[in-house]
Amino acid sequence: MLFPIVLAGGSGSRLWPLSRQLHPKQFLPLLGKNSMLQATIARLKGLETAPPTIICNNEHRFLAAEQLRAAGINDAKVLLEPVGRNTAPAIALAALALVRENPNAVLLVLAADHVIDDEAAFRAAVENAARYAAQGKLVTFGIKPDMAHTGYGYIRAGKTLGPAACELDEFVEKPSKETAQSYLTEGNYTWNSGMFLFRADRYLEELKQWRPDILEACTQAMANPVPDLTFIRINEEAFRACPSESVDYAVMEKTGAGVVIEMDAGWSDIGSWSALWEKLDKDANGNACNGDVMLHNASNSLVRADHRLVALVGVENLIVVETKDAIMVAHKDHVEDVKALVASIESDGRHEHINHREVYRPWGVFDSIDNGHRYQVKRITVNPGAKLSVQKHHHRAEHWIVVSGTAMVTNGEKQYLVTENQSTYIPIGEIHSLENPGVIPLELIEVQSGSYLGEDDIVRLQDQYGRA
């Protein structure tokens, strides 16, 4: 039996404006209806696996939990990283947690933001790798290259061990175009996929040998894990002291027990908008479109319109992405510069790199539809049976107008129902809460007014989601 470890951290800034810090690409449905996280778990079907362990940061916990619930996955463990420390510590946390339950646990380490077209080939490669992991080998999956790609790291294979299996000779950094072409010609190089298979105890042994400082910090962080609803929290102070290092650098480049399994499965890490364009279905002119899009003499472009009409005339090789609060236009040859653009947005003190206009909460979602001097208007959706925290505000009053559904409102000492086309007013400083007691979503308009309208002007007194 394999124990899937799904690494779901990261911000995915290269896919801005769709991917944001608080809603990164692994939680987005980029190819089909499922998010990338959901698709990663779905492709495990056909393998003998234990319930998956998801590793994500604290800010994404409710997003991960909701997507797991929507996919019908109720037995997953969600391990929360208080800060990002790269892949070597993240895998160590999972290995330490699982080795207590099963000393022989074999970890299948996957990234939550990869695309694999041929899932049967993926599963066959995993089954091939499992034989070597059982022998104590540390297996990485190398992707058979079909072009001289300069955006991926490479793995050089050594002595042949069996079908599609070789000793791991060397990891190579992202090469120049000429070097990448030479790798393709030589034939014993594969792309570094960032997927691994090894026994938990063997990984911890190798980590102890090569990076005992990482193992020590992770051991202390996992000494007394704290259950929190469906999540597992670790010691923040101990984990903050952990060095940040990838599993490639920390272990795989140093171990003498490395094996590379070649996988030819239509893999991509969707590391840029041009990489996504390559995976999407296209029309006769090479255009990949989603949403309300009109084209005239346009070719080889990706156009995504989420909320309004987007029209292209007489252009080619463009990436055009429209969201509620931002529009990005880029040439396909310059999509790697999107990350620099996001850095500029951050340095300018803007917020479009953090959140979409729509913000997900454990109880539902809100959309900031308008704001100005001393006021803000939100459209709020509360899921059936969900409840916002019991809270108060020091600087703002709120006026709620119910559009559909029924709201159970606590307003000071009073508790009452507010139904469609009715409204209620929450004064500054009043203790209040909002609940949806019904079986359909509660939709309401919230008008905030006051001297300060930031999200940090929320004093939570009680909260069923552990945020008080």
What pLDDT shows up at residue 103?
83
Whole-structure pTM value:
0.89
Q: Up-side HSE of residue 337: CA atoms within 13 Å toward CB?
A: 8
The beta-strand segments (E) located in 12-94 are 53-57, 77-81
What's the token pair of residue 164?
Answer: 């599609």
User: In angstroms, how far is the first alpha carbon of the chain from the final one?
Assistant: 39
DSSP state of 49: B
Sign of CA dihedral 43, 45, 48, 54: positive
How many C-beta neighbours within 10 Å does residue 344 have?
Answer: 10
- Separation in Å, CA 62 to CA 19, 59, 359: 17, 8, 12
What's the token pair of residue 16?
Answer: 């801005």
What pLDDT shows up at residue 360?
86
What pLDDT shows up at residue 104?
87
Secondary structure class of 16 (helix, strand, coil): coil
Amino acid making up residue 395: H
Q: How far apart are CA 231 and CA 366, in angstroms?
A: 23
What pLDDT shows up at residue 229?
78
Segment-wise mean pLDDT, segments of 10 residues, the chain, 468 residues? 94 91 94 95 95 93 91 92 94 94 92 95 96 96 90 91 94 88 90 95 96 97 88 94 94 94 94 94 97 98 96 98 96 94 95 89 92 94 96 96 98 97 97 97 97 92 84
Residues near 413 by Cβ (< 8 Å), separated by ≥ 6?
none
What pLDDT shows up at residue 343?
95
Q: How far apart are CA 468 and CA 460, in angstroms?
A: 5
What pLDDT shows up at residue 219?
97
Q: How far apart are CA 16 and CA 59, in angstroms?
A: 18
What's the token pair of residue 405?
Answer: 């559904």
What pLDDT shows up at residue 208?
97
**Element (DSSP H or E) covering residue 273:** helix 273-279
What pLDDT shows up at residue 173?
85
What pLDDT shows up at residue 464?
87
- Separation in Å, CA 70 to CA 35, 38, 66, 156: 11, 9, 6, 40
What pLDDT shows up at residue 106?
97
